[in-house]
Structure 1
Amino acid sequence: MKEEQLQKYAALVVKTGVNIQKNQTLVIMSPIECAEFTRLVTEAAYKEGAREVVIHWNDEISTKIKYLHGPDEIFDEVPNWQVESMASYSQAGACFLSISASDPDLMKEVDAKRISRAQKAKQLALREHTERLMSNKNSWCVVSVPTRAWASKIFPGLDAEEAVEKLWDKIFKIVRVDRYDPVAAWKEHTDILSSSMSLLNKYNFKKLHFTNSIGTDLVIELPKNHLWLGGAEKTSGGTEFIANIPTEEVFSAPKKDGVNGIVYSTKPLNYGGNLVNNFSLTFEDGKVVDFSAEEGYDTLKGIIETDEGSKYLGEVALVPYDSPISNSGIIFYNTLYDENASCHLALGRAYSSCIADGDEMSSEELMKAGINTSLAHVDFMIGSEDLNITGTTYGDEEIPVFRNGNWAFHL
């Protein structure tokens, strides 16, 4: 049964996630521990007519050794071959799959400043490639596969093998590969997300006000001509793809200078192998002016100080508390899963597709329209069982959007 579901999962990633086209190249970024699944995806891609499958393997334990013992200056460097590889494949129209499965506790002993420097250097070096993905010039998808360390963090009472099996069972259910036809199930799901998206676009809110009992009191203005997106997206060439499997969110871009108030996190953030937990951010005119964290303060500081744009928000996403991942009752310590169990925000770059004709705008035009730009894009979770969101229209009508963590209007 597991082998059958693995095959279905691989096929789902290829057909629905990146939606590979005949004679298209697929580039996979995979941890070496996920090699078995990566090979299944490779086979599925060739069966769908892929021209070539290129795999960039990574090993987080080797990366940790580098962080602990490497000379200081290498954390500001990215080899040209890495930059040229990603740029050339994206320019040639490849699609991209990233497998996210890091150990949430691995980098505890590593100097957070080294991680921040390495992340910033990578973001700067791969800027052209990232911009292509975030403006939907190429199809892309992020998925997760259990590893021993990640599964043991989620299920500490089990031995590693049992934890991995249990996490596989959870993932199979969440990504709908336990269904007879996962591709059809995902089509039905994305249609539901599309109805939420359409209703939010119809209201065309001027601003959203977030409040809950732990102290969040945040007003987010939205740019004129903003768009809510969710579920399936389309490349500039018209290919439909799903960037995150799983996904439960509808999202848009805040107005860069239109965020005011304080927001508190509700789930841990795993960033580069370090956890940031129980943190708050205070905004004035869009900019982070104060922050705190019970765990991972230096890591949070490094994210905020990546560049000027990382001090501002680039995404606001709505996810009902009563949703499959949230209802599992599990904290996954993995942003792909935790962000799809919770309303969330992102520090840094906004998706240009979140404003009308944004994918055709220059950087200057996007900035003028209130769309933030940055090297970073880091999601963090703010949803709670008692989260209320009230939208204000351009006619100054106040409309409940969320009440007690869930949609306040019938979809």
Structure 2
Amino acid sequence: MDDRVREHAQTLVEWSARIEPGDDVILQVGEGAHELAVAVAAELGEREANLVSTYTSGEVHRAYMRAHEGEFEPDPAHELALYENADSVLSLRAGWNASATADVPGERSQALSRARTGIREAHMDTDWVSTVHPTRSMAQAAGMSYEAYRDFVYDAILRDWEALAEEMAQLKEILDDGDTVRLQKAGGPVETDLTMSIAGRTAVNSAASVAYDSHNLPSGEVFTAPYDTEGEVYFDVPMTLQGQRVRDVTLSFEGGEVVDWSAEQGEDALEDILTTDEGARRLGELGIGMNRGIDRFTDSILFDEKMGDTVHLAVGRAYDSCLPEGEAGNDSAVHVDLITDVSEEASLTVDGEVIQRNGRFAWEE
């Protein structure tokens, strides 16, 4: 076993999930994540945690959804109980085919997502962490050799997370104190000029640990929950959504809601997402990437949205960690991130002050 796999497992269990003796842990094992699952299980065993492992597969998910023609039972009790009684959920993503569910009807995916709302909420209430184990299919999607892709993954994951957390704290403080964010970018089918209110919101310093209200490894972003969005935005980073390739997306906002949208490719998949429910046409997240260990786009949202020189906006559900106590943010059965490259002809301002220009922050040389 590559020593980096063991280091990955240790980082996940110790730094990210903060597993303690006696914790009840669900380990969701992706198709190609066997080696990482073995290393994580060993770490959990050393900490005397209680382990239940499950298997996740795009092909299994596809087979179930295509065969199920009736109504989906809302929040089946056996599955709901599993998450309601868990302290942590560790998800090891390692799919064999990013397009495994491409031929599942969009309305069926929407119906299943709505039917699992309670399960999703119970999952989110745990100390959950999602990570990825490099596979050849991921390397192929990224246009890289398997060996080069493994190096890329571990450069992003095996970071000095304490040092990065200190740097990201500067941006968190700016967003916490701010009222209005403006994103501008030249080029594309529309000139991006988008304003969002963040007054009263709390930004999350996403330093790859539940201690920071951060749930992805790798991470390296600061995010908050915007509202009252106005203007237009162009997303030039391609991605796979619901098994379909989507690229060159534009969204137009009025009164905080998407009123018009288009995509050069995959517009049907985009429309399926935006029409899931009322909340799917409002923003749930503004995220700013700060992980300089990620140096290229690989069609994996877990990496692409954390890359330095990027900003991402998620339509759908807002995270409770960004909201004042007792306040409900945007609610939806979906949370889908769209990414724009801000390395050229772009600026991000907070209350009129430029905090990032062409991908570089005000405190960076």
* TM-score calculated relative to the size of structure 2: 0.89
The 5 A counterparts of 1:90-101 are 90-101=83-94
User: How do 1:287-366 and structure 2 match up within 5 A?
Assistant: 287-320=257-290, 323-325=292-294, 328=295, 330-341=296-307, 342-357=310-325, 361=326, 365-366=327-328
1:73 aligned partner:
69
Tell me which of 128, 151, 154 is aligned to 2:139: 151
Secondary structure, aligned partner of 1:343: strand
Higher strand share: 2
How far 1:72 moved relative to its partner?
A: 6.1
Q: In the TM superposition, what whole-angstrom CA distance separates every residue of 1:146-165 from its partner, at most 9, and x where no partner exists? A: 22222122236xxxxxx333
2:162 aligns with 187
Partner of 2:237, secondary structure, is coil
Residue 61 of structure 1, aligned match among 53, 59, 62:
59
Q: After TM superposition, give the deviation of residue 209 of structure 1 in Å.
A: 3.6
Q: Which amino acid aligns with 1:14?
A: V
Are the equivalent residues in 2 in contact too, given 1:77–1:118 (CA < 8 A)?
Answer: no
CA contact (8 A) 1:106 1:274 kept: no
Q: CA deviation at 1:142?
A: 1.1
Tell me, in whole angstroms, the C-alpha distance in 2 between the residues paired with 1:335 and 1:21: 29
Please list the CA deviations of residues 9-29 of structure 1 after superposition, one character each: whole Å capped at 9, or x if unmatched.
111111112211210111122
Deviations 1:301-332 (A, max 9, x none): 10001101001110001125x8221xx2x321
Contact 2:179 2:199 in 1 (8 A): no
Aligned to 1:400: 354
Amino acid across the alignment from 1:3: D
Residue 347 (structure 2) pairs with residue 388 (structure 1) = yes
Distance of aligned partners of 1:39 and 1:79 in 2 relative to their CA distance in 1, 3 Å threshold: farther
How far is the alpha carbon of 1:249 from its aligned partner? Answer: 0.9
Deviations 1:97-150 (A, max 9, x none): 122333334445x15xx1x3343233323322433454xx32111111122222
- 1:79–1:261 distance in 2 versus 1, CA, 3 Å: closer
Richer in helix (by share): 1
- Which secondary structure does the structure 1 equivalent of 2:129 belong to? strand
2:194 maps to which residue?
219
Contact 1:193 1:249 in 2 (8 A): yes
Cα gap change, 1:294/1:377 in structure 2, threshold over 3 Å: closer, same or farther? same
2:217 match: secondary structure = coil
In the alignment, structure 1 segments of 5+ residues that lack a partner are: 157-162, 177-181, 393-397
Q: Figure out how many residues of one structure are paired with residues of the other and give that number.
A: 360
Q: Distance in 2 between matches of 1:241 and 1:228?
A: 10
- Name the CA shift for 1:388/1:223 in 2 (closer, same or farther; >3 Å): closer
- After superposition, where does 1:137-176 map in structure 2 within 5 Å? 137-155=125-143, 163-176=145-158
Q: Distance in 2 between matches of 1:17 and 1:234?
A: 4
- The answer on whether the counterparts of 1:259 and 1:284 sit within 8 Å (CA) in structure 2 is yes
Moved over 6 A (4+): none
Deviation at 1:170, TM superposition (A): 1.2
Of 343-352 and 29-38, the range deviating more from structure 2: 29-38
Question: Cα deviation per residue 1:240-264 (whole Å; 9 max; x = unaligned)?
Answer: 5641111121110111xx1111111
Displacement of 1:228 after TM fit? 1.2
The alpha-carbon deviation at position 196 of structure 1 amounts to 2.0
Match for 2:133: what amino acid? Answer: V
Distance in structure 1 (CA, Å) of the matches to 2:48 and 2:68: 44
Report % sequence identity: 23
Q: Evaluate the alpha carbon distance shift between residue 28 and residue 48 of structure 1 in structure 2; reply closer, same or farther with a 3 A threshold.
A: same
Among candidates 232, 239, 246, match of residue 218 of structure 2: 246
- The AA in structure 2 aligned to 1:335 is I
Deviation at 1:278, TM superposition (A): 1.4
Instruction: State whether residues 16 and 208 of structure 2, in contact with CA within 8 Å, keep that contact through their aligned partners in structure 1.
Output: no
**What is the aligned counterpart of 1:208 among 179, 182, 185?**
182
> Structure 1 pair 101/279, CA: closer, same or farther in 2 (3 Å)?
farther
1:124 paired residue among 114, 120, 127: 114
Distance 2:73 2:30 in 1: 19
| Distance of aligned partners of 1:217 and 1:240 in 2 relative to their CA distance in 1, 3 Å threshold | closer
Whole-Å separation in 2 of the counterparts to 1:278 and 1:222: 25
TM-superposed CA distance for 1:375, in Å, is 0.9
RMSD, aligned CA: 2.5
Inter-CA distance 210–78: structure 2 relative to 1 (3 Å threshold): farther
- The question of 1:272 aligning with 2:233 is answered no
- Of 206, 211, 227, 1:231 maps to 206
**CA distance 1:210–1:24, change in 2 (3 Å):** same
Q: CA deviation at 1:94?
A: 1.9
CA deviation digits over 1:268-324, x for unaligned, max 9? 12223222111111111111111111211111110001101001110001125x822
Residues 90-99 or 13-22, more deviating: 90-99
SS of the residue corresponding to residue 356 of structure 1 reads coil
C-alpha distance in 2 between matches for 1:303 and 1:343: 20
In 2, the alpha carbon distance for the partners of 1:101 and 1:276 equals 21
